């Protein structure tokens, strides 16, 4: 604990930022958190969208929230809704389902959408927050779905996009785990009456890799990949709205 406190002190001092002591604060997002310790200080990344959420007008009857990790966050064009003026992107790069579950109330429930588009699991499989299991990923997704349905929010549950390897963790072989999760996602969506959207089949090569023409790094879509996803998302939103 002493070593961590010293790292925090010198990191913040070096960046000329005021030091925010641990504990209860009225406005914990007032002070920037250095990127190297952001997961320790803001595990769910509440601060990323706090100001934007506070400035939002009241939701229309057709608000759609796209909730996910960097694949969602990078979807700057092409995300669609019933009313395009009330479509929100709440993706956070690098997040696992556990982190997403932490901020689900702040970035979905409190925004009162009609529909939430949920795409998650890539970073769990990559091991971004340490060892995990398929069952833990499933349970986090189920918890988010159950919370949404408890507020009468319609859920679009998306497949995990393809990836044959992760540049930041090359020891992981994601292909079988992505396929296992996507089989479960499709079955769970059917069982629970959720809208399912299968991006994987549209983006993957035969070996489970991301189609080279649709990605720039093997994990994230390029403009052409997002265009493919946008067409599928439009159909999913239409179906969820029926």
Checking if the pLDDT of 10 tops 60, the result is: no
Buried b (16+ CB within 10 A) or exposed e, 68-98: bbbbbbbbeeebbbbeeebbbbbbbebbbbb
pTM of the predicted model, to two decimals? 0.87
- In sequence order, what are the residues at sequence separation of 6 or more whose Cβ sits closer than 8 angstroms to the Cβ of residue 105? 147
* Exposed / middle / buried, residue 122 (Cβ in 10 Å: 0-12, 13-18, 19+): buried
Identify any residues that bridge with 157 across adjacent strands, giving them in sequence order.
118, 196
pLDDT range class, residue 20, cuts 50, 70, 90: low
List domains and CATH numbers for the chain.
1-42 (no CATH), 59-240 (3.40.50.1110)
Separation CA 136–CA 26 (nearest Å): 33
Confidence at residue 40, expressed as pLDDT on a 0 to 100 scale: 67
Using pLDDT thresholds of 50, 70 and 90, give the confidence band for residue 63.
very high
Cβ pair 113, 63 in contact under 8 A: yes
pLDDT above 90 as % of the chain: 75
How does the average pLDDT of the chain come out, rounded?
A: 89
Residue-level pLDDT at 45: 75
**pLDDT value of residue 181:** 98
Residue 8 pLDDT more than 50? no
Instruction: With residue 139 as reference, give the H or E element that holds it.
Output: helix 134-150
Q: What mean pLDDT comes out for the span 43-68?
A: 90
The residue-averaged pLDDT of 135-144 equals 98
- Binning pLDDT at 50, 70 and 90, where does residue 47 land? confident
pLDDT in tens, 166-210: 999 999 999 999 999 999 999 999 999 999 999 999 999 999 999
Q: What is the pLDDT of residue 30?
A: 73
């Amino acid at each position: 604990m002493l070593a961590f406190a010293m790292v925090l002190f010198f990191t913040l001092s070096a960046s000329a930022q005021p030091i925010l002591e641990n504990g209860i604060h009225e406005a914990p997002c007032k002070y920037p958190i250095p990127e190297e310790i952001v997961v320790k200080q803001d595990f769910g990344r509440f601060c990323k969208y706090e100001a934007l959420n506070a400035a939002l007008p009241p939701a229309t009857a057709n608000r759609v929230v796209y909730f996910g990790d960097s694949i969602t966050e990078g979807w700057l064009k092409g995300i669609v809704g019933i009313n395009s003026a009330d479509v929100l992107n709440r993706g956070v790069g690098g997040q696992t389902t556990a982190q997403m579950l932490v901020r689900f109330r702040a970035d979905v429930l409190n925004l009162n959408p009609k529909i939430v588009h949920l795409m998650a699991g890539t970073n769990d499989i990559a091991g971004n927050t340490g060892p995990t299991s398929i069952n833990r990923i499933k349970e986090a997704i189920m918890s988010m779905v159950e919370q949404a349905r408890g507020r009468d929010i319609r859920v679009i549950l998306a497949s995990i996009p393809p990836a044959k390897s992760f540049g930041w963790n090359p020891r992981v072989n994601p292909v079988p785990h992505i396929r296992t999760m996507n089989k479960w996602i499709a079955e769970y969506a059917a069982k629970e009456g959720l809208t399912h959207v299968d991006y994987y089949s549209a983006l993957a090569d035969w070996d489970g890799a991301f189609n080279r023409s649709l990605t720039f790094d093997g994990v994230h879509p390029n403009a052409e990949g997002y265009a493919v996803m946008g067409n599928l998302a439009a159909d999913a939103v239409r179906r969820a709205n029926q």
